[in-house]
Amino acid sequence: MKNKKQFFTTPIYYVNAKPHLGHAYTSIAADVATRFKQMDGNETFFLTGTDEHGDKIVQAAEKQKTTPKEYADKISQLFQDLLPVLNVKNNYFVRTTDLDHIKVVESVLSKIYDSGDIYFSSYEGLYCFGCERFYQERELVDGKCPDHGVAPEVIKESNYFFKMSKYQEWLIDHIKTNPDFIRPAQYKNELLSFLKEPLEDLCISRPKSRLTWGITLPFDDDYVTYVWFDALVNYISALGYPDGDLFNKFWSSTRHFVAKDIIKPHGIYWPIMLKAAGIEIYNGLNVHGFWNVKGSKMSKSVGNVTDPIRVTDVYGLDQFRYFLMREMVFGLDANFTEETIVSRINSDLANDLGNLFSRILSMNHRYFAGEVKGPDTKIEKEKNLSLASDAKKAIDGFKQAMALCEFHKGVGAIWQFISTMNKYIDKNEPWALAKDDVNIPILETVLYNLIEGLRVVSCLIYPIMPQTSLKMQCTLCMAKEENEFYTLKEIDSWGQIQKGTVIAKPDILFPRIDTDKIKPNEPVKQIKSFKPALKEEISIDDFAKIDLRTGTIIKAEKIEKSNKLLKLKVDLGAETRQVIAGIAKDYSPKEMIGKQVIVVANLKEATLMGEISQGMILAASHKKGLVLSGFDKKIAPGNLIK
């Protein structure tokens, strides 16, 4: 039974630039958290998407001589394509240019406007075009925007303002009475200290004279909505607010994942918007730090943006996911260098886990031909050989840490157990036990405990390294058919690997990385999508309607007046057909004779250039032309292809 619900979101990513390491981290962190919640018996929903309106998108599109929509489509696609590359399993991908989203933004704006919390006023202020927002004098550093290092311009215009100040006391109280609202605690304190100063009302419109790429205000056609007021609403529009099933089911269990630079919109604007619109406040905010690349904050201008596709390509996907979760203390900044990732892979993955796995299973092969021998419980007790309590400790530590998104501690709990198992081998020396028949029951007990330990490890690493988890479980003959993970409850009881199970020989889990072989600027493998686009899905029944047969070409000639078509006689066993094929540019009549091909035998007769065609032969098309399909062995004509 699944009573517990969990809704996780990443921020919707702004399409002003291609995805980088920071985006990959947030998406993977939310994916790991979601997979963990599933193991913990929750029904989950995981949302990500793209934020597509505003000045910056217009500017970026102009640079590429395209329209904002075309530009947004292109970059949004890159974000969508990245998800399967990172093995991130979102339930939905929202775009702020979606019509459904736009409707919800309009309805939330109308609601707040009708309640009197939006007013029209003229305003003169310091505006940073890079940030698309007005700045207070006190927020500037040496008179310059802290993010862009340029002096903001003085702009005077009439706009719509949202009465945030009215809700300041309410928000302070909400944060204080819900200690879990913002995690980790340092960000809660940061927000509370910011809220000690009076809160300015938020300018939520941009005049169309300056910007048209946005959602028109439902109460004034001359203005579009400020991009944050539009973007934040994605979290409810994607769930089908106000009365969608998903909204009813998941909204109250919402936790947003954000990086620390967008804590104000998420921790201040958003709860106040919800409050003003009479919508339940989300459950909480998980705030993470930045990845520093070679010691400085990642940014496009510094030119140190790390391409996540390249990293997974060079080091492996699970290795990358492991590194991100292990290296960053959630909430603090972390350093990304290729040296640290290589050292994590070689020591934590290849040495600690990979070696453990292959050592244990190789010994089990050497001594027992792969068969799992049961533990002798008496010997186990006498010699204190059980690993059950260490496993329990790992499971509990993992569960506690992961529930708070303390991923590095969750990983730490697993690796503590791995280290215990490695020491257990050194202490009990199975190779010495194997030398004397008297000690065989002890050896059996030792190896059983180690194999059980591997079972527990294979289950616990699932959220972080799903592929490796599955690989280990296939080797241990315990992969589930119906599901790709074991719940925490299922993992817990010790002694699940059955006596008599024959375990396959281990594969290498993590090859060691030889740094000399990595070229730092090797070209990156691009994500490929189908071109032309993949056709609509069909059922097996649809496919079964096509009658494909083996055929042999017995005669071929050119068709006059056509430089494309060949007239073929095809032996189909039961009959001979005439087929007109558009392959004259790629194949001469002479080379066609005797070829074995695939024929669509139940295609409706057609007439081409005055000649009857009774079927079609299959060929692959590529840039330079066509290549006939065929067989790798000689086969008689007329056989069915399925």
- Binding segment toward Zn ion, per CB under 5 A, in 145-153, 407-415, 452-460, 562-570: 145-153
What is the amino acid identity at position 533? Answer: A
> Judged by CB, which is closer to Zn ion: 56, or 549?
56
User: Of the residues 176, 264, 294, 300, which is catalytic?
Assistant: 300
**Residue 183: HSE in the Cβ half-sphere, 13 Å Cα cutoff:** 17
Structure tokens at 559: 């068709």
Nearer to Zn ion, 128 or 273 (CB): 128
Among 4, 148, 210, 499, binds Zn ion (CB under 5 A): 148
Are 207 and 223 in contact, with CB atoms under 8 Å apart?
A: yes
Is 196 exposed, middle or buried, given 0-12, 13-18 or 19+ CB atoms closer than 10 A? exposed
Nearer to Zn ion, 146 or 511 (CB): 146
Q: How far apart are CA 613 and CA 568, in angstroms?
A: 9
Q: How many other C-beta atoms can be found within 10 angstroms of the C-beta atom of residue 264?
A: 13
Q: Are 157 and 174 in contact (CB under 8 A)?
A: no
| 474 among known catalytic residues | no
Minimum distance of Zn ion from residue 126's CB (angstroms): 10
Q: How far is the CB of 290 from Zn ion (least distance, A)?
A: 17
CA separation for the pair 424, 94 (Å, rounded): 50
Min separation Cβ 130 and Zn ion, Å: 4
Q: Which residue has the tokens 């944050």?
A: 228
Q: Which stretch binds Zn ion (CB under 5 A): 55-63, 127-135, 333-341, 566-574?
A: 127-135
Q: What are phi and psi of 26, to 5 degrees?
A: -60, -45
* Least distance to Zn ion, CB of residue 140, Å: 10
Q: What is the DSSP letter of 637?
A: T
C-beta closer to Zn ion: residue 130 or 284: 130
What is the number of residues in the chain? 642
Measured CA distances, 385 to 190, 380, 433, 440 (Å):
49, 5, 14, 14
Q: Smallest distance, Å, CB 54 to Zn ion?
A: 13
Q: Are strands 5-9 and 576-581 parallel, antiparallel or unpaired?
A: unpaired
Q: Interface with Zn ion by CB under 5 A: which range of 140-148, 173-181, 356-364, 514-522?
A: 140-148
Minimum distance of Zn ion from residue 289's CB (angstroms):
21
Site for Zn ion in 72-111 (CB under 5 A): none
- Show contacts with Zn ion in window 596-615 (CB under 5 A): none
By CB under 5 A, name the one of 131, 440, 603, 641 that touches Zn ion.
131
Nearer to Zn ion, 147 or 507 (CB): 147
Site size for Zn ion (CB under 5 A): 6
In the shown chain, the binding pattern of residues 431 to 470 toward Zn ion, with x for contact by CB under 5 A and - for none, equals ----------------------------------------
Q: Which of 18, 131, 393, 409 is catalytic?
A: 131
- C-beta closer to Zn ion: residue 264 or 525: 264
Binding segment for Zn ion (CB under 5 A), chosen from 89-97, 114-122, 144-152, 621-629, is 144-152
Residue with Cβ nearer Zn ion (133 or 373):
133
Please, what is the minimum distance in Å from the beta carbon of residue 262 to Zn ion? 14
Answer for the pair 37, 7: CB distance below 8 angstroms, yes or no: no
Tell me the CB-side half-sphere exposure of residue 139, using CA atoms within 13 A: 19
Phi, psi of 185 (to 5 degrees): -60, -30
Report the alpha-carbon distance of residue 571 to residue 556 in Å, rounded. 12
Residue with tokens 């940061």: 190
User: For residues 302 and 474, which CB has a smaller minimum distance to Zn ion in the complex?
Assistant: 302
Q: Which of 145, 203, 405, 459 is catalytic?
A: 145
Query: Can 260 be counted among the known catalytic residues?
Result: no
Secondary structure (3-state) at 580:
strand
- The two structure tokens encoding residue 631: 């067989």
- Least Å distance, CB 150 to Zn ion, is 7
Interface residue with Zn ion among 28, 104, 108, 128 (CB under 5 A) is 128
φ, ψ of residue 532 to 5 degrees: the values are -65, 170
Mark the segment that binds Zn ion (CB under 5 A) among 48-56, 131-139, 276-284, 584-592. 131-139
Please select the residue that binds Zn ion; options are 147, 197, 382, 429, rule is CB under 5 A. Answer: 147
H or E element in which residue 360 lies: helix 356-368
C-alpha angle 185-189-195 in degrees, rounded to nearest 5: 145
Of the candidates 103, 130, 477, 603, which one interacts with Zn ion according to CB under 5 A?
130
For residue 405, indicate whether it is catalytic.
no
Tell me if 145 contacts Zn ion by CB under 5 A. yes
Pick the stretch among 138-146, 178-186, 500-508, 585-593 that binds Zn ion (CB under 5 A).
Answer: 138-146
According to DSSP H, which parts of 476-595 are helical?
488-492, 540-544, 589-592
Q: Give the helix/strand (H/E) hosting 617.
A: strand 616-617
Task: Identify which of 260, 338, 277, 352 has the alpha carbon closest to the alpha carbon of residue 104.
Answer: 277
Q: Is 134 or 357 the residue whose CB approaches Zn ion more closely? A: 134
Catalytic residues: 20, 23, 128, 131, 145, 148, 297, 300
Residues at the site binding Zn ion, with contacts judged by CB under 5 A = 128, 130-131, 145, 147-148
